[in-house]
Structure formats: structure tokens, C-alpha cells
Amino acid sequence: MQPTGKRTMIDFEKDAHLLRERLTQIVADYVKSNGTPVTRLDLDIWLGDGGDSPPAATVHIDTTAHDWPGDGSHPAVGTIEFPHWMTEYDRDEGEVRAMDGSMRQVTSAKRDQIFHGFFVDALLAARDAGVFDPLPKSPKCELGVVNFDCGFFWPEESDRGLMNMADARNNGARLSNAPPTSLDERIKLDERAYDLWVEVTPTSKTTAVVGTAAALGIGLGAAREVVESGAPVLRDESAIEVQRVAKLLRERGLEVRFDPPFPYPLNA
């Protein structure tokens, strides 16, 4: 069932500020009563999924180098709720205002990845704003985001240590014993949905139409309709397919853009 009533735009910029304020208080409360260096801090997120409980992030702190969120020394030290998301989260289509002020189109295929991405970005923004500076922590203290209900874990095991350190100055050293995932394997395993646009100028329109027709295997009329509408030439597609089509368009001298940003090279 779709939610009813007045619609309220979800604003991730404001929500990141809310999360930062609550994390600041959680850190302050921990520091008052604990001096043991922290080895990891995780956001354990719940997105509601049609239930009565509002979307929320439960904060777990560990001082024992335990790798599994919530099983360490200080589970559930605080919960940050987002009840204002409830009327919008379960809609099939909609928009959210991203942390950088841009508008993101939410579809059923992208909903979880957009909200998961918010928690990752907001957690890193809080770190970069100094929220965890007062926290006593080990040099290898990690940050993480998990949603057990849908099997989302950030960072991936083989990427631990590269971007997720509680002190950003310690980023860059791989902590996992797991071998790095190859580029080809990353693309195959990427479950995110991507949109792809071809950038059209007055002088490139014909090339864009012909290139889109060839890349998608559709007629020129259908390709012209897509190009002139300004709609994505691919919507909610896999990384493999987006890479394939983008490479074909680039080979014709056309510029392309993606949502979310495409993390893989187009010449691979």
C-alpha cells in the first residue's frame, strides 16, 4: 500500500546534520564514562520496510577488536531515528535532496542503495567534521555501516582500511587478509542500479541519436525520442550494461554522465 497524506521532501543535508548532532552526543556520553580506546564504531541501520518502527541507525561501539557489528563491548549505545522518512520511503518513485543539494531520483530499484549511501556519506562527513576527534580510539579504529535485513555491509571486507578509518589520516592501508577483489569481479558483483545519460549539444544531436540507436539496438525514431526527451538512455541498469553502452557512446565522441557516479573505468 502506498502512503497517503501530505508529501514531505526528504532532505539528506538536514538529516546528515541530525545524525552528526546525535553522534556528537553519543561520543560525549561515551567519553564521560569510558577511557578504553575504541576499535570500531558502526551504524546498524533499519529502513522500516513498511513496518511501524521508523527508519533508524543504532550505534554500536567496540573496544575489543571484534569484527562483527553489535557483538562487541558496547552494543546499542544510542539510536538515531528518522520518523519523518516514513511517509516517503515506501513510495515506488520520488525524489530526495542529496547532501550536496542536488536532487536524486528514487526508484524501487535504487531506494535501498540511495538510503544506504546516505548513511555512509553522513558517517564520513561526521568524521571529517571532527565528531570522533574526542573519542579515545586505537590507530586501527574503523567505521562501518550495516543493514542486516538486506545484507548491506560497508566497507566490503577486502576494502577495510582504505576509506573507513575513524581517523581519516589512517586511511589507505588495507586491513583485511582477504585478497583484493579484481576490477572485473567488482563490476560483476555490483548490485547497484545506475542511470546513464548522453550529453547532447546542438552539434552532437545527430551523433547522439545514431550512437544511442546502435548502442541500445533500437530504431532511430525511438533513439531520437530518448535523446530529445533528456531522459536517461539507461535507467536502473547493471554496472556491466552501463559500462558497455557508455563505452560505445564514448567511442563516438559523445560525453556521458551517470547517477550514481560510475566508479569503474570505461576502457576496462
pLDDT at 213: 94
What is the rounded CA–CA span in Å between residue 82 and residue 80? 7
Residue 1: per-residue pLDDT:
32
89 confidence band (pLDDT: 50, 70, 90): confident
What was the pLDDT predicted at 69? 83
**What percent of the chain stands above pLDDT 90?**
76
pLDDT at 149 over 80: yes
**pLDDT one-digit tens code per residue, 215-242:** 999 999 999 999 999 999 999 999 999 9
pTM score of the predicted model:
0.89
**For 186-215, what is the mean pLDDT?**
93
pLDDT in tens, 5-17: 455 689 999 999 9
Cβ proximity of 48 and 86 under 8 Å: yes
The 10s digit of each residue's pLDDT in 42-67 is: 999 998 766 688 999 999 999 998 77
CB 121 within 8 A of CB 99: yes
The C-alpha atoms of residue 41 and residue 203 are separated, in whole angstroms, by 52
Task: Specify the residue for cell string 547493471.
Answer: 238
The average pLDDT across 122-136 equals 98
Average pLDDT over residues 32-39: 93
Q: How far apart are CA 48 and CA 186, in angstroms?
A: 29
Q: So what's the pLDDT on residue 91? A: 72
What's the pLDDT at 53? 87
Hey, how many other C-beta atoms are within 10 angstroms of the C-beta on 188? 12
Q: Which domains does the chain have, with CATH numbers?
A: 10-170 (no CATH), 190-259 (3.30.1390.10)
Which pLDDT band holds residue 79 (cuts at 50, 70, 90)? Answer: very high
pLDDT at 70: 81
Select the more confidently predicted residue: 53 or 40.
40
Q: What is the pLDDT of residue 92?
A: 67
Of 103-112, 123-132, 179-188, 252-261, the range with the highest mean pLDDT is: 123-132
